[in-house]
Amino acid sequence: MRFTRTTAIAALLLAGACLRAQNLTDLRVAEIVAVNEHGPVDGFGQRNGWIEIFNNSNGTVKFGGCYLTDDKDDLTKYHIPASDRSTQVGPRQSVVFHAGGDASHGTYYTNFTLANGETVYLVSNDGRTIIDELAIPADLPADWSVVKVPAGVKKTDFTVGVSEKPTPGAYNGDVDAKTNSQIMKEKDPHGWVLTLISVCVVFFALAILAFIFTAIGKAGDREKPAKSPSGHVGKGAPTPEVAAAIAMALSHEDGEEVCAAIAMALEEYMGGVHDEESFVITIKPTPGSAWAGKEQGFRRLPR
Amino acid sequence: MSTVFDSLRQFWFFTGFANCTWQNLAMILIGIVFITIAIKKGWEPLLLVPIGFGMIIGNIPMFPGLNIGVYEDGSVLNTLYQGVKQGWYPPLIFLGIGAMTDFSALISQPRLLLIGAAAQMGIFGAYLLALLLGFDPNQAGAIGIIGGADGPTAIFLSSQLAPDLMGAIAVSAYSYMALVPVIQRPIMLALTTKEERLIRMPKPRQVSQKEKIIFPVVGFLLTAFIVPSGLPLLGMLFFGNLLKESGVTRRLAETARGPLIDVVTTLIGLTVGASTQADKFLTGNSVKIFILGLLSFVIATTCGVLFVKVWNLFLKGDRKINPLIGNAGVSAVPDSARVSEIVGREFDPDNHLLMHAMGPNVAGVIGSAVAAGILLGFLG
């Protein structure tokens, strides 16, 4: 018993260790403008280059303690304050760092500036592991951005390109992308394909379930002990139903159900038939019964 | 004196009388009809009373900007409505349904799962018809789910696919669920012969507690892997059932199937009713939705019964299934199973079909959640 419990706990711990949470590796350097001449200004009214970090997961990621740099030989160039509680980014959301060269302006202001031809690295909080990087083309025009655009079916892969219209802090994908409904309207205007697939899937799922439980039922039948020679259910060992009912009756949770369970157990044990819904006991008070009579609630005083 | 009159005039403009339109009155009347039906006829009172009263609440004419309406951000009603809008009331109801559903009838006769699958044709039949009537695929999917005869599923899917139609879809779904005995009986009689109605099915075998515990785990894993988009509904349904059957979480199961589902049912009914404001509800689309909803129930019942009849061609002896349980594949639990029992006993008073019909009935709950997941996956 102890061995089983220890094994189970060990298995759980092992499974827990294998779990991969929403973590820093889900962050992407998603968009960069190196030369900002006519774009948005930062909180101090200055136009500087900026770096957008995108959370490519469906969970919130805390990035406090990570590093940003434009120098591969100095991966810890700008330390994102770990103490700042705002250093987290929601699922599929992004944050923007202004590259003005003065980190004293705040958490989201780097201590380095950007120039074409550089590469920006996002480094993990160990100061060594590069999470993601994005190279700025040497010929990138002013106010243009180099951008990673979500691609693939789940939009979790990226293609790198340049954009004439940067989108700091906003989703880099095609905001005019068609919805699934619009795509279905074009591909399957009358709905027959979806209907056919859906009906097949529903039948498939429920058929497999039916198959599994038919097999489990048959296996259970084989496991059942042979009936006693007399064939009388109530004369042998108690059935699981009876045992469960008696166990309920002996539990600490007293109440109406206990009485009903004892009654059902006795009924079953004596060979009676109960309804098929085991563990669901319905007690319907009968108005004419003395048990429900109001006089049962009165105190009888001696005259 | 003029100040008093000015104040009274201003007060008048804030009253419901000054802002009333005929649409408001029409919706209030519909709400009263719902409440009357629920109380007088006893049709789905737990749902129709909250929905009916919610309709009255939602259609009290008011001066806009007071931040009290269901569609006004931050109002109390709007806060309660978030459970519908963001779709977290329905999974909580499914938790309660799971904790109160006994799947024994299904586990003892797993083949009846297929009847639950066949009856989901109502969903897809209505989907095709809705497309024909010019609805967009996402709207058609949301309308089609009415055929699943499952109110929480209908609310969940419509809140995700077509929030603007949710009020009409929810009211339509619950209305037709209340009318299951009226809709299904004539179809069942029309599609079956007297001989078929007299078919007696063997008594279901006794199901062990071990099987009952395995069912929610295996059922969830299988269906969720096939249709992950149905996770909120399927997860909660099977989780609730595991609470019930595990035998060690009795208090949790009792809370899920008792106080929790009562609270959520009250809130979902009230807010869905309140969301049916006249300007959003009294439209041509709502009329179409009501017609399509009725047709979806008809298709579902027809397909369920016909499926059993066709299946019977391949079955022999006491393996044959009484086609009167085919209607129970729609997941209006337990109303449609009760219809099977009542109609069956009309022709053979000793032929109890209820337990047999509960199999496809609960299979219908699983089937409609799977179908909702598929529609959400394709159209969401």
Using the beta-carbon criterion (under 8 Å), do B208 and A240 form an inter-chain contact?
yes
Measured between beta carbons, the chain A residues lying within 8 angstroms of B210 are 220
Place of tokens 């330390």: A79
Question: Do the Cβ atoms of A191 and B137 come within 8 Å?
Answer: yes
Q: 3-class DSSP state for residue B336?
A: helix
Whether the CB of A254 is below 8 Å from some CB of chain B: the reply is no
Neighbours of A71 (CB within 10 A): 13
Task: Tell me the nearest-neighbour CA distance from A17 into chain B, angstroms.
Answer: 22
B260 inside 8 A of chain A by CB: no
**Mean pLDDT comparison of A226-230, B86-90, B215-219, highest-scoring range:** B215-219
Q: Measure the CA–CA gap between A244 and A116, rounded to whole angstroms.
A: 76
The complex's ipTM?
A: 0.85
**HSE-up of residue B232 (Cα within 13 Å, Cβ side):** 20
Chain A residues with CB under 8 Å of B218 CB are 209, 212-213
Matching residue, tokens 């097999």: A215
Q: Mutation test of the interface with chain A: which of B129, B131, B211, B238, choosing the one with the most A Cβ atoms within 10 A?
A: B131
pLDDT of residue B162 exceeding 50: yes
Tens-digit pLDDT profile for residues B117-156: 999 999 999 999 999 999 989 999 999 999 888 888 888 8
CB contact under 8 A, B374 and A201: yes
**B119 or B64: which carries more pLDDT confidence?**
B119
B367/A195 touch (CB, cutoff 8 Å), yes or no: no
Residue A287 preceded by cis peptide, ω within 30: no
Between chains, do B218 and A180 touch, taking CB under 8 Å as contact?
no
Tell me whether A151 touches chain B (CB under 8 Å). no
Contact assignment for A214 to B110 by CB distance below 8 Å: yes
Location of structure tokens 């598929």? B374
pLDDT number for residue A13: 44
Chain A, nearest residue to B225 by Cα: A205
pLDDT at A281: 54
| B228/A contact by beta carbon, under 8 A | no
Three-state secondary structure of chain A: CHHHHHHHHHHHHHHHHHCCCCCHHHEEEEEEECCCCCCCCCCCCCCCEEEEEEECCCCCEECCCCEEECCCCCCCCEECCCCCCCCEECCCCEEEEEEECCHHHCCCECCCECCCCCEEEEECCCCCCEEEEEECCCCCCCCCEEEEEEECCCCCEEEEEEECCCCCCCCCCCCCCCCHHHHHHHHCCCCHHHHHHHHHHHHHHHHHHHHHHHHHHHHHHHHCCCCCCCCCHHHCCCCHHHHHHHHHHHCCCCCHHHHHHHHHHHHHHCCCCCCCCCCCCCCCCCCCCHHHCHHHHCCCCCC
**Range with the lowest mean pLDDT among A166-170, B20-24, B240-244, B326-330?**
B20-24
* Chain A, window 33-62: residues with a beta carbon less than 8 angstroms from a chain B beta carbon: none
- Per-residue pLDDT averaged across B103-114, rounded? 88
Q: Minimal CA–CA distance to B125: which of B290, B298, B284?
A: B298
The model's pTM is: 0.66
pLDDT in tens, chain A (303 residues): 455 555 555 554 444 443 333 467 788 999 999 999 888 888 888 889 999 999 887 667 788 888 999 999 999 999 998 778 788 888 778 999 999 898 888 999 999 999 999 999 999 888 888 989 999 999 999 999 999 988 765 566 788 888 888 889 888 876 666 777 888 888 888 889 999 999 999 999 999 989 988 888 887 766 665 444 444 444 445 555 555 555 555 554 455 666 666 666 666 655 544 444 545 555 555 555 555 555 555 555 555
